[in-house]
Amino acid sequence: MEKEYIKTLSPDEKIIFLQIIFNLICVDKKVEQEEKGLIKKLLKEYDLPSEKYSQVLQMLNKQEIVERINNISCMKKKYTLFIELFMMANIDDDLDEREIDYILDLAESVNVPYEKMEEINRYALDKIQCMAKYKEIMEN
């Protein structure tokens, strides 16, 4: 499974991850088809009961999001969340600066150094390129 980290998340952390990813999608006030597809895929991958979907798909203010990030049990999981956020921000062809600013602002609010965020973003971009190359190879 590509997202092995999901197994390490508590049920509450799964909801936190998905809530924050959903809120990122809404930052630029437009939800691209790729983003819709990714959130549907994530809901399945996280194996949440369908009655939790409404809890995941709700708008949160910055303070609520920061509190949720601070409730994640370890730094490694927080870094994984930021990888997922950068993946989401970069998945469509129309990268909106508001999405990147949103991610960096959240990171600063939970004391993740800017240098670490640059590293996480580079990793996410590399991962997206690898996924695109894999898709290209498999289609031919």
CA angle 46/51/99 to nearest 5° reads 55
Q: What is the pLDDT of residues 6-59, one digit of tens each?
A: 999 999 999 999 999 989 988 877 777 777 777 778 888 898 888 888 888 888
Banded model confidence at residue 1, pLDDT cuts 50, 70, 90? very low
CATH code assigned to 6-139 = 1.10.3680.10
Give tens-digit pLDDT for 95-131: 678 888 999 999 999 999 999 999 999 999 999 899 8
Contact between residue 67 and residue 81 where contact means Cβ atoms under 8 Å apart:
no
81 CA to centre of own chain: 6
Are the C-beta atoms of 74 and 110 separated by less than 8 Å?
no
